[in-house]
Structure 1
């Protein structure tokens, strides 16, 4: 719970507060660069806690570095606003690419998030074809959504007023994650394994 709260604060609330708090004094470009630091800090804290640097942390840190370089080289605020696509486009391609691995990315991430279900998930993956098919379909949904997200962020960055894009970026992130829960849970229900993963454990008697 604490980690989720920290992520919301550092990845969503703090960047927005910094951007809208600084832009009138520093200008859009500087405010955008400064607003990239809380997510980078969260990526570092997560890496320290987990004692490893995962792909998402690398992407966040790389995006922050590229954004800073772009600003130093004279890049305008719209180029910095489009940096969201630097995350979602590669993430979408990588998600789809994991379909060719033994286990797709969405399965691996969910297994990490549900450590108390890891053994069950491993057993179902090894023995149930419908379970494997569900996770491959879920992976396609998430990968395709990330690519669509990337395209939409680029359109917003270059067509909408600069002042409204950071807020819309955050809204888009939340909406995308919420909407993707629908096919994820629907596909797991159709496979017959939603309850075993997300339902309450059966009460024991005696």
Structure 2
């Protein structure tokens, strides 16, 4: 799947569909818990289908499904809609920990993900990784930023889930996702520019 196709899928299935289902069902008179349960289906299905096509399920995919299932079980056992609203935190917390844990591997998660999307730059990325210490250090620092941000994101989602009106949290969750991704572009680009290799990956010639 190309990067634009992946972005389109994320916007439609992982962001647009859950919001449309939740607010559409709620507007039709459906209870908050039922609306949240139904709105959790598209992202979970996307993860399952992606894992099936790849013939493997990575840790982040498992975290998404586990968070959805645990939230649903907690809600159905009487916990109410707020447990479902907190499922985002159950995903971002493990995601943050996993991201930081990949610092112990030869190549951290942010490097691997970026290399997957920049297929036409994979060769130069591999060469720079093998030969340039500042390039490796930049990606490790980027990974720390993304991991810490995911943990902070998780804490904020828990606060929103248990303190704000149920009706506003799904929209705020989505806004938080977008803001977090956009804000994290700043340290990512600054660290790559400092390493001297930003143009090698994202410049006009790339």
Does residue 67 of structure 2 align to residue 54 of structure 1? no
TM-score where L is the length of structure 1: 0.93
Q: Equivalents in 1 of 2:95, 2:204: separation in Å?
A: 32
Does residue 164 of structure 2 align to residue 185 of structure 1? no
Aligned to 2:38: 34
TM-score where L is the length of structure 2: 0.93
Extract unaligned runs of 5+ from structure 2. Answer: none
RMSD: 1.4
Q: CA deviation at 1:71?
A: 2.3
Q: CA deviation at 1:48?
A: 3.5
Aligned to 2:201: 197
Aligned to 2:92: 88
Equivalent residue in structure 2 for 1:4, among 3, 7, 29: 7
Equivalent residue in structure 1 for 2:166, among 139, 154, 162: 162
Q: Equivalents in 2 of 1:26, 1:76: separation in Å?
A: 14
Moved over 4 A (4+): none
Q: How does 1:98-177 map to 2 (within 5 A)?
A: 98-177=102-181
Extract unaligned runs of 5+ from structure 1. Answer: none
